[in-house]
Chain A
Amino acid sequence: GNSVTQMEGPVTLSEEAFLTINCTYTATGYPSLFWYVQYPGEGLQLLLKATKADDKGSNKGFEATYRKETTSFHLEKGSVQVSDSAVYFCALPSGGYQKVTFGTGTKLQVIP
């Protein structure tokens, strides 16, 4: 079935630093790809998504491009803020079923 692998954390950055969180996937066909974010003590919420190859998803200054050549969907932000401290999950549908497979999550800590 479909799967995702994302970089392990935690990632610690200073405010205004550049962020990259790597995500690669294995899938049949070209499924939609998602990034979800989980703030401390809360549930997950959608950060951005891309529904077909070469699409770029963006939200709140974060971006990710669906690259079929490298089977990747890396999350980037040009200048992180303390309020971006959270756990970030890469995800994709689990081929053929109404289910979603999540990566293990990458914890980001941004220090002032």
Chain B
Amino acid sequence: DGGITQSPKYLFRKEGQNVTLSCEQNLNHDAMYWYRQDPGQGLRLIYYSQIVNDFQKGDIAEGYSVSREKKESFPLTVTSAQKNPTAFYLCASSTREVAGGDTQYFGPGTRLTVL
């Protein structure tokens, strides 16, 4: 079955540590996205990538980094510079025609807790 996988589902880290969240898709989509979800704030875009080896900052990129070395993979690193990293992180993918009405497909999410 085609879809998006995120791992791990739950992640705990100590303050001051970097951590990398995995996102893999087998939908052959060009575009991939990372969102952060906090209670009562909807989804906020962290980074997005429209094609391999290219990515752009979203609305809240500070303290995060990404890479896009392969079409199917878009890992997110939460660095120690992110002041409040505890949140639910969602990865998504789509064709490059979102503006024309194409759907975003989401993974199941990773819940990150900083201890």
Contact = CB atoms under 8 A, between A and B. Distances in A.
Interface stretch (B13-21, B37-45, B61-69, B74-82): B37-45
A99 B42 contact: no
A105 B106 contact: no
Contacts of B104: 36, 44, 46, 100
A98 B96 contact: yes
Interface size class of B (residues with CB under 8 A): 20 to 34
Interface of B: 4, 6, 31, 33, 40-43, 45, 48, 50, 58, 90, 92, 94, 96, 98-101, 103-109
| Dominant SS among interface residues on chain A | loop
Contact of B109 (A31, A42, A99): A42
Contacts of A105: 42
B109 A98 contact: no
Nearest to B100: A32
Interface string A93-104: 101111110111
Given A42-B108, A43-B107, A44-B106, A104 B101 contact: no
Contact of A46 (B4, B48, B103, B108): B103
